[in-house]
Every structure is written in C-alpha cells, then in structure tokens.
Structure 1
C-alpha cells in the first residue's frame, strides 16, 4: 500500500469516526473551552471536524483561522481565508488574516503589501511583526505605538510587551503587561509575560508565583512548567529544574522545548552521552551558535571526538568572535588534538582579563607549557595568587547585583574590580551601573575607557552609545554608536531594539 493510499484511508476513517457521536455544536463548544485553556492544537482538530460535518459556517471558519494564526499555521490560515471568501466574507474583511498568514509563511513583503494603509490594531500588530522580520525595529515600534493608540487589543499588547522586554525597557513592558492584565485578568499571556519580566529582574519568587497560577489555570499546556524550569536554572537549583522539566514532559513529551531543557540539564550534569543521544539526529542541521549546537560540540569533545569538536567550535567562533565559551572550548579542543600553540593563541584573550576564572587560566597554563612558552610561569602564578578567590567572588557578586538591579552594589563591586587593572568587561558593567544611578558623566567616561580597550567590539560601542542616550548627552553621536553596534552584530536583538527605541524617540 502506497503512502498516498494510507493517507486517504486514514482521512476517510477520521471523517467516518467524526460523523458518529458528537454533533458539530458539541465540537465547537469544546473547541471554545480548549481555546480558553490554551489547548490550541486540540481546538484546531475539533473545529476541522465540526466544519467537515456542518459545512463552511463563517463563524466557525473565523474561529479556526484565529487558532491557526496563533499556532503559526500560515498555510492553514490562508486556506481558511479562501473558504471564508467563498462563504461570503469580503476581501477587505479577510485582509488581516491573509497578511498574517503570508508573514507566517515567511513573506513579510507580501504581508505589508496586503496591509496597505490599514490602521486597525490587528493590522498594526501584523505590520509590526512584518517590519521586525525585515529587521526594521524602528518601524515596528512605531506600528506598535499606533496600534495601541487605535485601541486595546490583547495580542497587540502581548507583542508590544515582548518588544519592550527585548529592548530592555522593563518599566515600559510592565505598563503594557498591566494593561493586558486589565483586559484579561489571569490571562495566559499576561501571566507568562509577567513571570518573564520578574525573572529578568531577579524576582524569582514572584516569577514562580505567577507561573504556578498559570500552570493551575492552564493545566494541559507545558509552557508554565517549562518556564519554571528555566527560573529554577537561573537560581542555580538544578535538581528542581530537572524535576520541573520531567513534569512538563508528562504533558508534552515531544515538545522541542522540553527536549532542549533535557539537553541543557544533562550537559550541566556532565552526562555527555545523553546529550549526544538527544541531538545526534539533528547533527547536520544544528546551528553551531545555538545552545544545542554548542552542547553537542562539547559532547563530542567529552566523548572522545576532539577533531569533530574542534571543527564545530571553529565554526561557532568564526561566526561570533566575541563568544567566550566558543573561544574557550575551541582552545580546549585544539589542545586535545595536540595543537598547543593554536590553543594558547585562542585562549589568550580570555586568560589575560582580570576577570579570568580558574578554567581559563588553567587551560592557558597547560597550552603554554605544552608549547614550551615562557608565559606558563605567569599563568601558574596567577592561579596560585590568593586574589583569584577575591576576584572570582567579586565578579559573581557584581553580576548578581546587575541581575537584581541593585545599582549601588554593582557600582561598588565593579569599582573595586576596576582597581585590579583596566579591563573592558569590568568597565562595561560599571558604566551600566553608573548610568542607572544617574551618574552620567562617570558612566560616559567609563564606557569610553572600555571602548578604547576594545574599539572593534560591538558591545563596547553599544554601551558607549547607551549611556549617552540615556543621559540625553551628545545624542547624534550616541545613535551613531548604537548603529555601529548593530552593523557589527546585526543578529543582536537587544542592539537593534535599543537603536529603534532611542532613534525613534529622537526623531519624534
């Protein structure tokens, strides 16, 4: 029996079974309950079955189109729009559905063309998403603002809050989440976004509380449990994170997000065989810079395949030269393949920093010794230096202060670290903390020192621009610095959205 024949038989069986027992009205009522519970895939099945029995009812078709769009099913939504048109809907009425379907199918230009000059909240939301797909963050932000001015729409407020979180505007995001909560008290998006924002601010108890509420209100979707596993990970509670991932797996065992967490936590536990087994089927399609790509490369190294690991980490570092993990692991792989001089050259930028941790220094010392280089003595001396413990503790303390937005503490810690020597990473963090304390002049001077140390690093250009534009100082130059950061790292969402936010504010 051919695959096509099996498909036709399965479809016939499905339609036969769907014709028995439940009425279309029963299925539609259940679909509405499933939509309320965020069981969108189940709702799609019920709506398709109801339509197969009762014919193309416009109200049911619209409900199906909404579900398909939220599921990211552009092909299905486009087909449903065609059925709606045959059922009597006007092209103008269907335009937002078709535009969003085109966007989901990977064609933002077609989406924008379909939208034309439409200015509804739905149209502006789709326009913003299309512009973001074209990397026009300024245009996207303007569209989101216009959409909010037209009227409060839950999905628009969701997308606006997500944009602001990505841009680092946490206060602005909180305002949009509050508006969303007023429209939909205890709604799925408001709870999930509120938890995300709380976690980013280091308010882990608040995040867990919101996610517990979401898990109880939407028990058949894994999102809240997945998010809780991530928050536990942020807190350093690995066992709790694994347990929460296992709970999510009981709801959605095939969800790729669950698989990704399993990979992450297996890597953290050093279970490299499990990492390889989970990712082996995807080896050819893994993005070398993704978390899974880097974990797989390390698994290859840890399970006795250093040449393959070296190639994978080289690809990752070539695409992102400032990625410290890729650099460290490439050096380790180079050393494992017997190329000590290459390993030393690779790890030097990390080992020379005052914030270098024991792992970087140990690897640098091993590589220098294996290559017969005199630098080995200095690395060993630094390892033995009692200040290493102090610097490591201060680094952790300072980074924790940044996460919880304790700016006075962050200024104190990074100021002490800066006394250990000129280091771009320390100065960059100190500049950010000074900026948030309102000490604009010191922040600008500190950011400029970091930029002078690493003039080609987009991170230092971004920080030098950010502290200026936050203070309203030399704004044209600040915007230029942000643009330079975006040009150097076009895939960095934070850079792009910050540029959009401040550039548009300056233009308005």
Structure 2
C-alpha cells in the first residue's frame, strides 16, 4: 500500500524502496506481483524478470507466478514461450478465464487462428460465455470472416453494445460484409463520434458511405485517413474509389500509391516503425518517422515522434511534435493525451499538462493510461 501510494504521488524512488522493503521482510506473492508489474509497465523487463525469479523461489506454483511468466514472455515478443507459459497456467488453474484468453491471444499473435479458436471454444465450453471469452471469440470470428455467425451472435444484443466497443465494431463490419450497409453506417457513425481518433471506425464508416451511395461523405471521411503516410491499402483503395466518384484530383495520386512495388515498400516502412516503437528502439523510430513528415505533418506520425523524443529525454522536441499533432487532430484523445504526457514526464508546464490530461480523460473516460497519468499529474508539485 505504501508503494502504491508513493507511485500515485509520483515518488518513484520511494515506491521502489517500499517494494524492496516489503520483499526483504518476506512480503507475499501479491506484493511481488505488484512490484513486477510496476517494472513491466516501465518497460524494465530485466528488473521484472529478477522479481519473477524471486517469486519462483517463494512459490513457483502460485497463480500470480505462473501468469507473470506468460506476461513477461509476451512483453518481450517471445510468443512460443508465452504460449507454453499460459498453457501451464490453464492446466494448473482451469477455472480462470483470463489465462485461457491470454493463451488464445498468443496463438492469434503467432498467426495460428485455428489453434486460437480451439483454445477459446474450449474455454467457452468449460467456463461459459464470460465477457472476456466472448470478446476474444468474436475477434477470432472476425479474422476468419465468419460474418453471419457474428451477426447472429450479436443481433439480439445490438441495443446494449456500447458505441465504439470492440463488439460493436465487429458487429458493424459483419453487417457491412453481409450487405446491410445502412445499418453498418449508423453503427460506425456512432463509433466515430465516440472514438474520433480511431482509424478503423473511420475506415469502416467511409466504406459504408460508399456502399450507401454517399461518395461525397465518404471522401470527406476517408481523405484524412488515406492521405496519411501510415495508411494501409484498404484505406487508400476505398479513398481512391470515393475520389474517383466525386472527381477529386487526389484520385491519381492514390492510385499510384497502390502500385505493387510502391505499396510493398511503404507497408514495410510502416511495419518497421511500429516494430521499433514496440521494442522501445526510440532512435530507430525517429529515423523511420522523421522522413514521413511533409507540410504540416500527419497527426499520428507527429504523435509517435513526440513519444520517441520523450523517451530519449528530448523534452522540448517532444512537446513541439505533440503540439503539432494536436493542432492537426484537436479532437483526437490520443493526441491530447500525449501533449499532456510529454509535459508531465518532462517536468515542465505542469498546469498545462493537467489541463490537457483532463481534456483527454473527458474525451476518453475509459482509458486507463490517461487516468493514471492524470492522477500522477494531480499529485505532482508545481
């Protein structure tokens, strides 16, 4: 409790001292797990590994110890090791849904959708359709293109689906794929209002607008998404269709971006950038994203550059990129959040950081990362 209180007050060293004192005094597995997850959240995998080994020495068969082994492997991108670890948890604790879902998720990351589906269907049979099991099942059905099953499963719950939730988005895509474009358009319109920064909901809304013979609306929806250097082929192609329909001059440039060699090279750069961010290779991320900027810049590219520079300790550059991102996408909660976060982590303009984080929390009230940063900002001095 003392460690968690110090974390809330942004007193990191005091929190670590409290965790260590608890460990030295024979603290239990729950304390060790909290300490390890704190290290994991900071990206300090080696430190988390050290705590995990202490947990193994204390109680190798504890649920918390076994789960942490899987989470550590997953965080490091060691998919096979994570699968093996979560299988051990499922065997030892078959009544817990969380490791079942984690196992299916790792199979999915590996690209073995059939194994993921088998794992989640077994979980559903053994434990019932819990919310987390059902959400994973629907995700896998989406990946397999089993749209009629999704529609049948979720149709009776349509009114209860929260706009912008994963289940709602999957249901909307199922309707779109099955030819119910107008119903899908309404769902994705609501999702885009709830999640203004979500590229998937914007893409699906644009496609639905094309399918309902509203190319002007579709072009307005898709243009910002497709003109981004991070756009995928589906977004570029949908925008090209809309641009052709309304006679927009950008249609030719979009068609050129779909040429196989050019598209392959662009997608490889996008994947390299995402991989660098996931692996916390900040200098490499900057080297990849910096050349993507032109003109006023793309909001998502600017946001990622802000995060990379923040982690490199280059606070002024981070703030500059974050503010440019927010100027490009003033309603995007992620951009607002990063503009507050870089100030908070850099220890500058703390009142401005609080203001921005409050705005982000209001725009995306269910976001745990924003909530944690806002609590940290409110506790910080200055």
The two structures have a TM-score, normalised by structure 1, of: 0.63
State the alpha-carbon separation in 2 of the partners of residues 188 and 141 from structure 1. Answer: 29
Q: Does residue 308 of the first structure (1) align with residue 192 of the second (2)?
A: no
Instruction: Say if 1:471 and 1:140 are closer, same or farther in 2 by CA, change over 3 A.
Output: closer
- What corresponds to 2:373 in structure 1? 498
1:292 to 141, 160, 167: 167
1:448 to 298, 301, 323: 323
1:327 to 199, 202, 211: 202
Contact 1:141 1:501 in 2 (8 A): no
**Which has the larger displacement, 338-347 or 386-395?**
386-395
State the alpha-carbon separation in 2 of the partners of residues 428 and 481 from structure 1. Answer: 15
Structure 2, unpaired ranges of 5+: none
Q: CA offsets, 1:234-261, max 9 Å, x none? A: 3333233223324434533444433322
Structure 1, unpaired ranges of 5+: 1-120, 129-136
- What corresponds to 2:284 in structure 1? 409
Contact 2:9 2:376 in 1 (8 A): no
**Which has the larger displacement, 233-242 or 168-177?**
168-177
Contact 1:334 1:343 in 2 (8 A): yes
State the alpha-carbon separation in 2 of the partners of residues 163 and 311 from structure 1. Answer: 41
The alpha-carbon deviation at position 383 of structure 1 amounts to 2.8
Q: Does residue 241 of the first structure (1) align with residue 134 of the second (2)?
A: no
SS of corresponding position for 2:213: coil
- What corresponds to 2:42 in structure 1? 169
- What corresponds to 1:274 in structure 2? 149
Contact 2:10 2:376 in 1 (8 A): no
Alignment of 1:374-389 (within 5 A): 374-384=249-259, 386-389=261-264
Q: Does residue 261 of the first structure (1) align with residue 136 of the second (2)?
A: yes
Q: Does residue 458 of the first structure (1) align with residue 333 of the second (2)?
A: yes
Alignment of 1:465-480 (within 5 A): 465-480=340-355
Contact 1:221 1:251 in 2 (8 A): no
The alpha-carbon deviation at position 140 of structure 1 amounts to 12
1:224 to 84, 87, 99: 99
- What corresponds to 2:275 in structure 1? 400
SS of corresponding position for 1:490: coil
Contact 1:313 1:329 in 2 (8 A): yes
Contact 1:177 1:194 in 2 (8 A): no
State the alpha-carbon separation in 1 of the partners of residues 142 and 350 from structure 2. Answer: 44
- What corresponds to 1:364 in structure 2? 239
> Could you say which structure has the larger radius of gyration?
1
Alignment of 1:481-492 (within 5 A): 481-492=356-367
State the alpha-carbon separation in 1 of the partners of residues 251 and 149 from structure 2. Answer: 36
Contact 1:177 1:190 in 2 (8 A): no
The alpha-carbon deviation at position 398 of structure 1 amounts to 1.0
Count of aligned residue pairs for this structure pair: 372
Alignment of 1:142-221 (within 5 A): 152=27, 154=29, 168-171=41-44, 174=48, 178=52, 184-221=59-96
State the alpha-carbon separation in 2 of the partners of residues 312 and 452 from structure 1. Answer: 28
The alpha-carbon deviation at position 318 of structure 1 amounts to 1.7
SS of corresponding position for 1:410: helix
State the alpha-carbon separation in 1 of the partners of residues 332 and 136 from structure 2. Answer: 31
Contact 1:306 1:337 in 2 (8 A): yes
Contact 1:444 1:467 in 2 (8 A): yes
Instruction: Say if 1:186 and 1:467 are closer, same or farther in 2 by CA, change over 3 A.
Output: farther
Contact 1:203 1:404 in 2 (8 A): no
State the alpha-carbon separation in 2 of the partners of residues 428 and 489 from structure 1. Answer: 17
Contact 1:354 1:420 in 2 (8 A): no
